[in-house]
Each structure stands twice: as structure tokens, then as C-alpha cells.
């Protein structure tokens, strides 16, 4: 009986390791896990070179080195762990790097310290939204799930939500995710698909895909909110959930405008509609008044001599302008 149990455990472990594919992301579940130069404890630990700023304010130079190690969860020393497709014994060859500074490197890590990154929150399971702590319901705030759980995320859409989709907004009912779709490199705006995951049913569906080639002549000089097609939305970089719990899902989606400036196009959309309301603003959302369900939006305007000033406006979630203020300083 003992032999059968050990054999079963070995088969399960082998299945877990072999289920991984190149490019998969992981979360570390222990502190101080060494990244080694080979697949075993006999190999030396990789080292990181630390840049030191010159006291005179000059360029940074190479300083001391430290062991390359992984720590629990997201947002620690090395925040990204990507499987590079090689495995030996119970070790995986991975690329570990820190998102902001970019330092890190490749090496071997024991698979017993790694768990597949959560498909829903992408390893970032806890964050603050509108002053409230939001915890990913799929991974229960861990940032990772077991393989057998990960594979059970169902979909009510014939096109399954891609594993590369990233969470951009969340409330008690839904997670909203976006995914960058393959497209020709000649276009400077990315094609983005927008997805919704129902937390209760764990079913996902695609709301729509942006159209980077959409014409924007109608947008210049827009004075009032305008009903347009979803096909008029060029890209998405920000999403905000506008609807209350129990109400039909309504979102504010924003993306880079068609000009060379830092303009943003803002659209109010509903999950089951092929139309959107484009707001007559060009700098995007700066705040929400939940008590009155108002969107506080900002726009850029010009004095006669060419200098800039801002316009602040409040809209309801149906696109109706409630009030407007010119924030002129002279």
C-alpha cells in the first residue's frame, strides 16, 4: 500500500511539472528561495549586481552583488517568474525579474516552491479601489491557484478568455480584464479585447474587440456626448466599473486619443449593447462621486495666446453633463 501511495504521488508531481508550457507565469510560495545556475542544490546560487549611485550625482556604477532569491507573493524583490521551457529533475528554468527596475535574470528553481499565477488577478490579488480593499475571489488573495483548480475556469463564450488577459477592474460581482490581440506591427495602436468574468459562476465572456483603424474625425471638437458604435473605439488602457452590485454591468473605458498629445477618449458601455456613449472630454476620468453617481472628467483647452487651461465637468453614467467649470488661472 505504501508503494502504491508513493507511486501515485510521483505520478501527480510529474503530471504537474509536465503540464507547464513555455511562457507560463508563476508565484513563489516561500521566502528566500534560491535561483541556481543548475537544476539541483549542488549548483551555485545566481547573483545580482546592485547599481550604486555616484555621490556626486553622476551615473550609477556597479556595486556589490547579492544572492538571487525569490520571496512570497507579488510585489517583492523579483515580481515576475516566467517559465522558459526547460525542466530537469524537479527544477524549472525560469526568468525572474523586477518590473520597475528590470533587474534579475535566468536560473533554475525547484518546482515545489512555485505555483501557477492566478489567471484572473495575474498574481496581484489584493489592491485598493476607491478606498476599499479588493481581494481576488478566484485565488482567495494568494495570487496563485493549484493546477487542477486553474484548469477549471469555465467560459460561456466559444472563444475562451486568454490566459494572458490582465485584470484592470473588479467589484464584488465581476472582474474586468483586457488582452492585447495579435496584429501587424505597422499599427501604433494595439488591438485590445475586453472580457468580463462573473465571480459567482466563474464564467467569462468577451464584450468586444477594439478597432485600431477606426476613423476619429467625428471626435475632434465634440461638444456633447455622442452615441457611437463599439467599432469606433480604437483602444483601451483604463476601465472603471460604474454599475452598482445587482445592476446590469456598465463600464467606463478609456484609451489613447487619435492626436499626438496625451489625449484620452472616454466611453460609457454596457455589457450587452453594441453601442457606446463617447464623452466630450480629452483628458479622462479624474474622480467619481458615488453618492451622486457622477463621473468627474477633465479636458484641455487653450487661451488665445496658446497657453493651456483645464475644464472640469461632471457627467451622470448615461453621459448627461451635469455641470462644467473652466479652471482658468488668469
Residue 267 β-bridge partners: 253, 278
- Is 254 within 8 Å of 268 (Cβ atoms)? no
* Closest C-alpha among 158, 174, 155, 258 to residue 210: 258
- Separation in Å, CA 315 to CA 2, 33, 74, 213, 245: 68, 51, 36, 28, 20
Rounded Cα–Cα distance for residues 243 and 239 (Å) = 12
149-198 tens-digit pLDDT: 443 333 344 457 888 888 999 988 999 999 987 665 545 667 899 999 98
Average pLDDT over residues 25-35: 85
Residue for grid cell 499626438: 260
207-217 tens-digit pLDDT: 999 988 888 88
Q: Catalogue the E-assigned strands of 14-140.
A: 25-28, 33-34, 47-52, 61-67, 69-70, 80-88, 91-97, 104-110, 114-116, 126-129, 132-135
Rounded Cα–Cα distance for residues 157 and 83 (Å) = 28
Q: Is the per-residue pLDDT at 290 higher than 70?
A: yes
- Separation in Å, CA 193 to CA 74, 177, 288: 25, 8, 25
Q: Is the per-residue pLDDT at 27 higher than 90?
A: no
66-118 tens-digit pLDDT: 788 888 765 444 467 888 988 888 899 998 876 555 567 899 999 888 888 87
When mean pLDDT is compared over 6-10, 61-65, 252-256, the highest value belongs to 252-256
How much is the mean pLDDT over the chain?
78
Residue 295 β-bridge partners: 288, 315
Three cell numbers written together for 206: 468577451
Positive/negative CA dihedral, 159, 165, 169, 172: positive
184-202 tens-digit pLDDT: 554 566 789 999 998 888 8
Q: Is the per-residue pLDDT at 227 higher than 90?
A: yes
pLDDT recorded at residue 26: 86
**207-234: burial string, b at 16+ Cβ within 10 Å, e else:** bbbbbbebeeeebeeeeebbebebebbb
pLDDT recorded at residue 128: 61
- Is 173 within 8 Å of 200 (Cβ atoms)? yes
Q: Is 143 left (phi over 0), alpha (psi -120 to 50) or beta?
A: left
pTM attached to this predicted model: 0.54
Residues in Cβ contact with 10 at an 8 Å cutoff, skipping those fewer than 6 apart? none
Query: Which of the residue ranges 90-99, 225-234, 306-315 would you say has the lowest mean pLDDT?
Result: 90-99
Can you give the length of the chain in residues?
330
CA Rg value for the chain: 24
Residue extents of the structural domains in the chain: 2-116, 162-172+211-327
- Separation in Å, CA 88 to CA 115, 147, 285: 17, 19, 50
Amino acid at each position: 500500500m505504501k508503494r502504491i501511495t508513493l507511486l501515485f504521488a510521483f505520478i501527480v508531481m510529474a503530471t504537474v511539472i509536465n503540464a507547464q508550457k513555455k511562457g507560463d507565469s508563476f508565484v513563489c510560495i516561500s521566502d528566500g528561495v534560491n535561483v541556481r545556475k543548475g537544476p539541483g542544490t549542488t549548483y551555485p546560487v545566481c547573483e545580482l549586481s546592485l547599481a550604486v549611485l555616484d555621490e556626486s550625482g553622476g551615473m550609477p556604477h556597479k556595486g556589490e552583488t547579492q544572492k538571487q532569491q525569490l520571496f512570497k507573493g507579488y510585489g517583492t524583490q523579483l515580481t515576475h517568474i516566467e517559465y522558459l521551457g526547460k525542466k530537469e529533475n524537479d527544477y524549472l528554468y525560469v526568468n525572474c525579474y523586477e518590473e520597475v527596475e528590470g533587474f534579475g535574470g535566468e536560473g533554475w528553481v525547484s518546482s515545489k516552491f512555485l505555483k501557477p499565477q492566478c489567471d484572473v488577478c495575474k498574481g496581484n490579488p489584493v489592491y485598493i479601489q476607491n478606498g476599499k480593499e479588493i481581494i481576488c475571489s478566484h485565488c482567495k488573495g494568494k495570487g496563485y491557484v493549484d493546477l487542477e483548480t486553474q484548469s477549471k475556469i469555465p467560459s460561456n463564450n466559444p472563444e475562451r478568455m486568454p490566459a494572458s488577459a490582465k485584470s484592470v477592474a473588479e467589484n464584488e460581482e465581476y472582474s474586468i480584464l483586457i488582452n492585447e490581440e495579435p496584429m501587424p506591427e505597422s499599427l501604433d495602436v494595439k488591438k485590445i479585447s475586453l472580457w468580463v468574468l462573473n465571480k459567482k459562476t466563474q464564467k467569462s465572456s468577451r464584450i468586444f474587440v477594439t478597432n485600431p483603424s477606426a476613423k476619429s474625425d467625428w471626435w475632434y471638437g465634440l461638444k456633447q456626448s455622442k452615441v457611437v458604435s463599439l467599432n469606433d473605439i480604437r483602444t483601451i488602457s483604463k476601465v472603471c466599473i460604474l454599475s452598482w452590485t445587482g445592476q446590469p454591468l456598465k463600464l467606463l473605458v478609456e484609451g489613447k486619443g487619435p492626436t499626438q498629445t496625451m489625449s484620452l477618449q472616454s466611453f460609457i458601455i454596457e455589457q450587452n449593447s453594441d453601442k457606446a456613449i463617447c464623452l466630450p472630454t480629452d483628458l479622462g476620468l479624474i474622480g467619481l462621486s458615488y453618492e451622486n453617481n457622477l463621473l468627474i472628467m477633465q479636458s484641455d483647452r487653450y487661451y488665445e495666446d496658446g497657453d493651456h487651461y483645464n475644464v472640469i465637468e461632471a457627467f451622470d453614467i448615461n453621459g448627461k453633463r451635469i455641470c462644467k467649470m473652466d479652471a482658468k488661472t488668469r
